[in-house]
């Protein structure tokens, strides 16, 4: 997640009433001040986990318990501390006191960790003597309101699995540049890019008809509103699932590639053994922000029109968006698009 994109506020939502939220705060400059990930993905009992630094342990022992101490109506349902950022699932069980809201709680939490950092880091204390000391974190924070069925469990699983995904990227860097054969919902795909995007808990289908009420969709107010919503969600770290067929879908695709936003691009052209995407998509794959999926030719129906092809790819995008932590995604090994 880009530290410059630490915001997601839902317009009109009351963050002082009961609700469940996933909150992410990121250290400025992505410095790994909370510890290091140790262990291995080799399933030998030494599972990946955080080895906390002194500051990381102070967050666990002191700062997180303070939230419930000062706000008894608030529970912390899950914690995931990574070297350079922190995830919390926060439950507001009863309305907060007047003038208090989720942002106040998160701000106080960030302030407490920054003060603990000042005490531990003598260079910060010396450099800022007599001045206002810097915050450890980047500005703002990111939140997701957990309201949909299954959303909470998806996030819990995602946070538990965070250290393993981190270690996978370290142990298997080639995974993000290989053509794989995977099966999703009974459809076989070849893949190129960051496979971990499939397990992101928040995915949004990019779906626009070419025309709306007889006029090009890109000229409608619906396009203006929906495109802003999608780009805002992607800026907050969510994944866009986009066939990139209609003009509006293409515009979202180009914006995502240019800004290195997370995206799964579903294409009809097969991914063969020696296939590579063009420069912009290759760079996005190398950056880790893109996964390209192409259904095997043998699994594609015989289309009689472009209209059928359009709806087939959008159906695949819808299926991919529905992937949760319980969905079986079978990786069958290194193959080209025809299974050789």
pLDDT in tens for each of the 340 residues of the chain? 444 344 556 767 899 999 999 999 999 999 999 999 999 988 788 999 999 999 999 999 999 999 999 999 999 999 999 999 999 999 999 999 999 999 999 999 999 999 999 998 866 555 555 567 889 998 889 899 998 878 999 899 889 989 988 888 788 776 666 666 888 888 899 999 888 899 899 999 999 999 999 999 999 999 999 999 999 999 988 999 999 999 999 999 999 999 999 999 999 998 887 788 888 998 898 888 999 999 988 888 898 888 898 999 999 999 999 887 777 777 765 443 333 3
> How do the domains of the chain map onto residue ranges?
3-163, 173-334
pLDDT, residue 279, reads 86
Which pLDDT belongs to residue 174?
A: 65
Residue 255: how many other CB atoms lie within 10 Å:
16
Q: CB neighbours of 293 closer than 8 A, spacing ≥ 6?
A: 189, 190, 191, 264, 265, 266, 267, 316, 320
By the 10 Å C-beta count (0-12 exposed, 13-18 middle, 19+ buried), 99 is classed as: exposed
Taking the C-alpha atoms of 249, 256, 262 and 172 in order, what is their torsion angle to the nearest 10 degrees? 110
What pLDDT is attached to residue 89? 97
Please report the pLDDT score of residue 123 as a whole number.
Answer: 61
The Cα-based distances of 261 to 212, 223, 293 in angstroms read 27, 19, 17
Identify the bridge partners of residue 241 per DSSP, sorted by sequence position.
205, 264
Which of 281, 280, 307 has the alpha carbon at shortest distance from 294?
281
Sign of CA dihedral 280, 285, 289, 293: positive
Residue 102's pLDDT is: 96
Which is it for the CA torsion 165, 86, 89, 14, positive or negative? negative
**Measuring CA to CA, how many Å separate 57 from each of 110, 114, 123, 125, 158?**
15, 14, 20, 20, 22
Instruction: State the pLDDT at residue 9.
Output: 60
- 92 in Cβ contact with 19 (< 8 Å): yes
3-163 is a CATH 3.30.70.1290 domain: yes
User: Would you give the end-to-end CA distance of the chain in angstroms?
Assistant: 37
Cβ contact 4:114 at 8 Å: no
What gap in Å lies between CA 28 and CA 141, rounded to an integer? 11
> What is the pLDDT at residue 247?
95
Of all residues in the chain, what percent are helix, strand and coil, respectively (each to 5)?
A: 40, 25, 35
């Amino acid at each position: 997640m880009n530290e410059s994109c630490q915001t997601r506020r839902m317009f009109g939502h009351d963050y002082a009433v009961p609700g469940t939220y996933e909150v992410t705060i990121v250290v400025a400059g992505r410095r790994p001040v909370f510890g290091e990930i140790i262990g291995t993905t080799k399933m030998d009992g030494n599972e990946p986990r955080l080895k906390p630094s002194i500051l990381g342990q102070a967050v666990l022992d002191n700062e997180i318990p303070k939230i419930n101490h000062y706000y008894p109506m608030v529970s912390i349902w899950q914690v995931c501390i990574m070297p350079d950022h922190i995830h919390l699932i926060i439950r507001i069980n009863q309305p907060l006191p007047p003038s208090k809201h989720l942002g106040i709680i998160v701000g106080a939490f960030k302030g407490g960790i920054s003060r603990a950092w000042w005490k531990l880091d003598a260079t910060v204390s010396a450099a800022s003597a007599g001045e206002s000391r810097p915050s450890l974190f980047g500005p703002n924070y990111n939140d997701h309101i957990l309201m949909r069925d299954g959303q909470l469990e998806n996030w819990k699983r995602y946070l538990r699995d965070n250290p393993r995904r981190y270690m996978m990227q370290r142990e298997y860097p080639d995974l993000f540049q290989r053509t794989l054969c995977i099966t999703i919902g009974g459809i076989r795909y070849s893949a190129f890019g960051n496979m971990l995007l499939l397990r992101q808990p928040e995915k949004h289908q990019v779906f626009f008809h070419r025309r709306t009420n007889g006029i090009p969709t890109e000229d409608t107010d619906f396009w203006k509103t929906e495109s802003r919503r999608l780009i805002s969600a992607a800026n907050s770290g969510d994944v866009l699932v986009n066939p990139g067929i209609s003009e509006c879908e293409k515009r979202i695709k180009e914006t995502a590639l240019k800004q290195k936003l997370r995206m799964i691009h579903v294409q009809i052209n097969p991914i063969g053994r020696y296939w590579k995407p063009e420069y912009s998509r290759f760079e996005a794959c190398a950056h880790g922000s893109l996964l390209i999926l192409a259904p095997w030719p043998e699994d594609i129906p015989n289309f009689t029109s472009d209209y059928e092809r359009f709806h087939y790819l959008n159906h695949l995008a819808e299926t991919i968006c529905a992937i949760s932590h319980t969905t079986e995604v079978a990786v069958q090994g290194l193959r080209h698009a025809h299974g050789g």
